[in-house]
Amino acid sequence: MIATVGWLGVLLALVSAVAIVIQGVRCFLADGDASSSLRLGVLGLVVGAVVAMGALEVALITDDFSIEYVARNHARGTPLLFTIAGAWAALEGSIVLWGLILAGYTLWVYRRLSDRDRVGAAALAVIGAVAIFFFALMATAANPFATLAQVPADGIGANPLLQNHILMAIHPPMLYLGYVGMTVPFAFAIAALVSGEGTTQWLERTRRWTLVAWSFLSLGIVLGAWWSYEVLGWGGYWAWDPVENASFLPWLTATAFIHSAVVQRRRGMLQAWNVALIIGTFSLTILGTFLTRSGVVASVHSFTQSAVGPALLAFLLLVLVGGFGLFALRGHLVASSPRLDSLASREGVFLLNNLLLTLFAFVVLVGTIYPMVLEAFTGDRVSVGGPWFDRSAIPIGLVLLFAMGIGPITPYRVARLPVLWRRLRIPLQAAAVTAAITVMVGLRPITVIATVALAAFVITGIVQHAGEVARSRPGGFLSEVARLPGSDPGYWGGMIAHVGLTLVAVAIAFSGSFGVRQEITLETGESANFEGYTLTYLAPFVREEPNRTVVGATIELRREDRVLGTLEPRLNQYPNQVQAIPTPSVRTGVREDVYLSLVRIEPGSATVTVDAFRFPLMWLLWLGGLIVFAGGLRSYFGRRRTADVPIHEAAGV
Amino acid sequence: MSERIRSWVAVTVIAACAGLIVAVLATADPSPADRVEALATRLKCPVCQSESINDSPAQLSRDLKALIADQVADGWTDQQIVDFFIATYGEEVLLDPPAGGRTALLWVLPAILLVGGLALIVTRVRGSGRELSEEERRRVDQAVQKASR
Lowest mean pLDDT among A192-201, A363-372, A536-545: A192-201
Of A102 and A474, more confident: A102
CB contact under 8 A, A381 and B91: yes
Q: Which of A340, A388, A428 sits opposite B125 (nearest CB)?
A: A340
Q: Which of B10, B91, B96 sits opposite A387 (nearest CB)?
A: B96
Q: Sheet harboring A585-587: ordered strands across?
A: A516-523, A607-616, A592-601, A585-587
Amino acid occupying residue B33: A
Best-predicted range by mean pLDDT (A29-38, A223-232, A247-256, A335-344): A247-256
CB contact under 8 A, A382 and B102: yes
CA distance A470 to chain B (A): 21
Asked if residue A518 has pLDDT above 70, the reply is yes
pLDDT of residue A609: 92
Contact A141, A307 (CB under 8 A): yes
Q: Is A627 exposed, middle or buried (0-12, 13-18, 19+ CB in 10 A)?
A: buried
pLDDT of residue A124: 93
How far is residue A116's CA from residue A111's CA, in Å, rounded to a whole number? 13
How far is residue B96's CA from residue A245's CA, in Å, rounded to a whole number? 17
Asked if residue A649 has pLDDT above 50, the reply is no
For A449, nearest residue in chain B (alpha carbons): B21
CA distance B116 to chain A (A): 10
How far is residue A209's CA from residue A178's CA, in Å, rounded to a whole number? 10
pLDDT 10s digits, B86-109 = 999 988 899 888 888 888 888 999
Q: Which of B7, B92, B106 sits opposite A425 (nearest CB)?
A: B7
Q: Is A554 exposed, middle or buried (0-12, 13-18, 19+ CB in 10 A)?
A: middle
Contact A457, A407 (CB under 8 A): no
CB contact under 8 A, B42 and A387: yes
CA distance A264 to chain B (A): 15
Q: Which of A382, A391, A421 sits opposite B91 (nearest CB)?
A: A382
Confirm whether the ipTM is greater than 0.85.
no
pLDDT 10s digits, A574-587 = 887 778 888 899 99
Gap between the terminal Cα atoms of chain A: 66
Contact B41, A391 (CB under 8 A): no
For A371, nearest residue in chain B (alpha carbons): B103
Asked if residue B112 has pLDDT above 50, the reply is yes
Choose among A420, A430, A449: nearest CA to B14.
Answer: A430
For A297, nearest residue in chain B (alpha carbons): B49
pLDDT of residue A639: 59
For B110, nearest residue in chain A (alpha carbons): A363
Q: Is A597 exposed, middle or buried (0-12, 13-18, 19+ CB in 10 A)?
A: buried
CA distance A119 to chain B (A): 30
Within 8 A of A366 by CB-CB distance, chain B residues are 105-106, 109-110
CB contact under 8 A, B125 and A300: no
DSSP string of A316-360, one letter each residue: HHHHHHHHHHHHHHHHHHH------S-SSSHHHHHHHHHHHHHHH
Within 8 A of B55 by CB-CB distance, chain A residues are 234-236, 239, 386
Gap between the terminal Cα atoms of chain B: 56
Within 8 A of B5 by CB-CB distance, chain A residues are none
Choose among A143, A146, A141, A139: nearest CA to A64.
Answer: A146
pLDDT of residue B128: 47
pLDDT 10s digits, A44-95 = 999 999 999 999 999 999 999 999 999 988 888 888 899 999 898 888 899 9
Confidence of residue A520 (pLDDT cuts 50, 70, 90): very high
Asked if residue A454 has pLDDT above 70, the reply is yes
Choose among B61, B121, B103, B37: nearest CA to A234.
Answer: B61
Of A474 and A198, more confident: A474
pLDDT 10s digits, A288-304 = 988 887 777 764 444 44
pLDDT of residue A647: 43
Q: Within 10 Å of residue A586's Cβ, how many Cβ atoms?
A: 18
CA distance A27 to chain B (A): 39
Give the alpha-carbon dihedral of A189, A195, A196, A200, to 10 degrees. Answer: -60
pLDDT of residue B35: 85
